[in-house]
Amino acid sequence: MAIIITDECINCGACEPECPNTAIYEGADDWRYADGTDLEGDVVLPGGKEVNAEEAQEPISDEIYYIVPEKCTECKGFHEEPQCAAVCPVDCCVPDEDVVETEEFLLQKQAFMHKE
């Protein structure tokens, strides 16, 4: 399951630098699959979606920090718990019930984004 930032977010920004996948962005900021990953050019994501990793994507939120679900791995492969949730002072980084993924799939996404 990916993590989502709820509307209780106070825009403190504590979560953004903690994300090992660069999946967290400030509200209204464009994002790219390539940001903070080893992805470049045209790629097929583990879920089957075809994208250009360097192409700017529309912000998910214009008002608060947001997490890109396709890039979120709940920190699997890096940490034992989601780091955004660990540092959030208002506990607004919570599991996204609309994006349920197995640990195996989360680790597959992590390996796909970060070639070792």
DSSP-assigned letters across all residues of the chain: --EEE-TT-----SSGGG-TT--EE-TT--B-TTTTSS--SEEE-TTS-EEETTS-B--S-SSS-EE-TTT--TTTTT-SS-HHHHH-TT--EEE-TTS---HHHHHHHHHHHS--
Quick: pLDDT tens for 40-78.
999 999 989 999 999 999 999 999 999 999 999 999 999
pLDDT at 104: 95
Provide the whole-model pTM.
0.95
Q: Which fold has domain 1-115?
A: Alpha-Beta Plaits (3.30.70)
Q: Which amino acid is at 26?
A: E
Give the residue extent of every domain in the chain.
1-115
pLDDT at 47: 86
User: Please, what is the average pLDDT of the chain?
Assistant: 96
Question: Does 14 or 1 have the greater pLDDT score?
Answer: 14
pLDDT bucket at 100, cuts 50 / 70 / 90: very high
